[in-house]
Each structure stands twice: as C-alpha cells, then as structure tokens.
Amino acid sequence: MEATQVVYSMNIRNTATTVFKTIMLSKQRYGMNYIIRILRGDDKFGWKDEAHTQMETYGSLKTLPDFKIKNIISWLMANHYLYVSNMEYGILALTEKAHYEMTNQVAWWVSNKELSLHIEERRVTEALKSLRKSLSISEEKPIFLIFTDYVLQSLASAMPSSITELKNTPGINSAMCDKFGHLILRTIENAKKQAEKELREKRIEKVKGTDYQSVKALINEGRKLDTIIAKTGFSKERIVRIMKDLHETGEIDVKPFIEKNIKPKDLYKATEFFRQTENARLKTAYETLGLDYDILRMCRLYIADLKSDIIAIA
C-alpha cells in the first residue's frame, strides 16, 4: 500500500537514498560532516580523496541546506538505518534496513517535528561549539583535536549530567574527561537552563493569544466541553492541549472543569492509574483502561504538578 503524505511532513526518499549511496561509494570510511560536504559539493577544505568529486552523488544535494541534510542523517541514525562503525571518528555505515530502502521507490514521509532538533539540543550544540572554539584558541590546537563534530553531536544528543555519564558518551575518552569533563558538563547544564527559559517564555507568550484566551473565557463561564468545541470550532484534542498550556502556565486552574466534564468513576480510575504506574504513557493507559485519549489527557493533567518556575514567570 502506497504511503500517503502527512501534513507538515517531508518526503525524505531522495535525500535518504542519496545519503545511503554516497556512504557506499565512499566505502563507508567517513563521518557525517564529510559525507554532507560530498553531497553539497563543498570543496572549501579540500578532499581526502579527489575521486570523491567524481562520484555520481557529488553535489547532488547542493540546494538543500546543510542543517536539513544533517537532521535527516540524524533521524536515519536514530531509527537504525545508519550506525557508527567507529566511535572515535563517527564513521557512518549502512544497516540492512538501509539496503532495503535503497530499492524502495515509495514516498517516505517523515514529520517535520521528527526532523527538527529540539530547542534544548540546539542550544547545547551551539554552546559546545562555542566552548570548542574557545578551547581551540587557548590550547592552540585545531578544533577537531579538542573534540570532533561526531563527539559534539554525541554530547548534544546524550546531554550527560555526570562524569560517569560523560565517560559513557560515544566518542568520549578518559583523557578528555580528565581535562575538560567538568567544563563540558557545566556548559551543557547552562545551555539546558537557557533552553528551558526560552521554552517557558514562548509558552507564556503563546497562551496570551486569541485562541487560548477564548477557551479560557469559556471555561471561566462554566461552559461544558461540547459547548466549547461547538463555539470555537476546535477539535476536542486541540481544546485539551490548550487547557494543558493554560493550566501549566498558571493562566487558569482547569481541575474544576475536568471534574465537571468527566464521570467521577472514570476520573478516579484514570487518576489512580497515573499515580500508581511507572509507565504513564497514554497508549498504556488506553490499553489498560479503555478510556479515550482525550479523557486520559485530562485525567493526567488533573494530577500533574505545576512547575513553580513556569507559574512565576506568568
């Protein structure tokens, strides 16, 4: 059955196949950034092998921004189409899944959300790049001798918070931990705090919008969920997500609203499940309790602890 397009998604078929082919043609001896340079025909730093400029995929993705190719490759790695065959240098190799996809012609739609770095990962990446540049100057060494792009990406993905976790991050060795470990950890922690602050501020700004305030007004008027859906034209899922943002930013306490719109038996059953289980995923709750997802979202929201730092900004 042919895949259908999802709204706000990208067909990665051509890019992914081209990445796979480039890795095969280059004999799987290079890391992400070098592969991207081949794909974009970027000769700014010269080539390890001039034959790479004659490859059929050379420059084939030159119109695609560097970060988009990088995000697609990261997604392919996270979903086990690519793996790192050399942890020190981040050399990419194909899995059996990748070999299968090279013969597939069906559109390969992946949501833009999946292909985008979370703001926390972006800020950590930026901070680590800045740290690496500073250390490069102070140590009088090229940046790749401080740590490679692969190590940087590993750190941004793993975000270690202790020396033990740092040592277990792919590409990190004992010498690096001893020399730069605490500095790297402090840089990551500060970048995460900055990302959290940005997210809080964006969320606070978002709930001041017309859609959010109209839902808030209707809740304050004591309207039922069905009435709010009818008046706004929003889906039940969107209403519940708006409620969550309003509640968690301190705009409104939605607990009384939830009590009025969910049967007491269902509210008790679901809230007890979320309080007692270690796996609070909606899918698990749905399979266990048989309640629809929007009811479960409201029940989980009902027992959620509000973050004081979010409320304080409001």
Distance of alpha carbon 236 from alpha carbon 68, whole angstroms: 33
What's CA 221's distance to the chain center, in Å?
37
Distance of alpha carbon 121 from alpha carbon 115, whole angstroms: 13
Per-residue model confidence (pLDDT) at position 217:
96
Per-residue model confidence (pLDDT) at position 305:
61
Per-residue model confidence (pLDDT) at position 211:
94
pTM value > 0.75? no
CATH topology of domain 119-202: DNA polymerase; domain 1 (1.10.150)
The residue with tokens 């990551």 is 188
Q: Quick check: do 9-111 and 207-313 share a fold? A: yes
Per-residue model confidence (pLDDT) at position 314:
32
> If the chain, 314 residues long, is cut into consecutive pieces of 10 residues, what is the mean pLDDT of each piece?
52 96 86 93 87 93 92 91 85 93 92 83 93 95 87 90 92 89 96 91 92 96 95 94 91 94 95 85 90 93 61 34
Q: What CATH class is the domain 9-111?
A: mainly alpha
Q: What CATH class is the domain 207-313?
A: mainly alpha
Distance of alpha carbon 15 from alpha carbon 4, whole angstroms: 18
Per-residue model confidence (pLDDT) at position 8:
64
Domain range annotation of the chain: 9-111, 119-202, 207-313
Closest CA to 310 of 210, 190, 191, 196: 196
**Strand pairing partners for 83?**
93
Per-residue model confidence (pLDDT) at position 126:
94
